[in-house]
Amino acid sequence: MEKATDFTLPDQTGTNHSLSDYSGRWLILYFYPQDDTPGCTTEACAFRDDYALIQQKGLQVLGVSHDSVASHAKFAAKYQLNFPILADVAGETIEAYGAKGLIGTKRMTFLINPDGMIAKEYPKVTPKGHSVQILQDFEAR
């Protein structure tokens, strides 16, 4: 297993989140291309809808894109997102996790264990059903 790269990024309310804030907990860190686009909305709303179950299993969700805090605030409000989405405007965290694509951010997810190690990587994500897939993989570990 590989150690997850630390980061500190603001969420849709301007509150900073760091990987170290989640030490001792399982974390779903997902990267997505752009707020309020069809695939990204499908993926975010699935995490929203499954969030209570995700939390029951002891997992936390963080979304990351290159969009601004203001863009994230609109996106989160429009779809009542109930988890933090982080603004990586500079793209440093996106690049550190290998989610930088030729024309933007790749849709990728990392399941990070309580010790800060990457337990599973999802390099190619299909937005519909992705949150369920992660929960199934988490249960099967």
CB 108 within 8 A of CB 125: yes
> Which one, of 15, 16, 20, 45, lies nearest residue 30 by Cα?
45
In the annotation, is 40 catalytic? Answer: yes
CA distance 140 to 100: 29
What is the CB-side half-sphere exposure of residue 121 using CA atoms within 13 A?
11
H or E element that contains 100: strand 100-101
CA distance 41 to 75: 9
CA distance 54 to 26: 10
Q: Write down the catalytic residue from 9, 19, 27, 40.
A: 40
> So which residues are the catalytic ones?
40
